Amino acid sequence: AQAKIYTTQNGYALDSFIILEQTTKLVSYNGLLSLIEENLTSILIANQALADPIQGRVNRQVKHMPIKTNVKISSEANSGFHQLEIIANDRPGLLAQIAHQFLLFDIELHNAKINTLGNRVEDSFIISAKHGKQLSKESVQKIKAAFELL
């Protein structure tokens, strides 16, 4: 599965998803997409908080062959942005935990590429401090430490 997030300067986001079934076939369910669209639209219009992420069981492969979480934050040349790369075991709610850390640290998300390869997550985010300001070295260290605990 793969997802990309593009954020515009006026605060809109365009999200793109490629979803695979368990059999690794591409999914193309118009009814499912309409249902997702309707539910998201009603939640956004009502300004409701999202439900807590699903707490599922950890996959057997993850238990027996865990991947050590690897977090890398590098400065993007001439942009003032940083690239946050996370490699970790996939598990239910991981992306919600990442989003929660963005909120806690007042991180502004400019672009994201979410990539799941079996039980392995390789996610990449272009981030900054609020209003596109550059993250301080101290903030980068704190953010890295927090993400390594996920």
Q: Which burial class, exposed, middle or buried, applies to 8 when counting CB atoms under 10 A from its CB (0-12, 13-18, 19+)?
A: exposed
pLDDT one-digit tens code per residue, 127-150 = 999 988 999 999 999 999 999 998
Domains of the chain by start residue, with CATH? 2-148 (3.30.70.260)
The pTM for the full model equals 0.72
pLDDT one-digit tens code per residue, 86-132 = 999 988 889 889 999 999 999 999 889 999 888 899 999 999 999 88
Question: What is the rounded CA–CA span in Å between residue 134 and residue 81?
Answer: 6
Question: What is the rounded CA–CA span in Å between residue 109 and residue 14?
Answer: 12
- Cα Dmax for the chain: 47
Q: Measuring CA to CA, how many Å separate 80 from each of 38, 65, 117, 138, 140?
A: 37, 37, 30, 15, 13
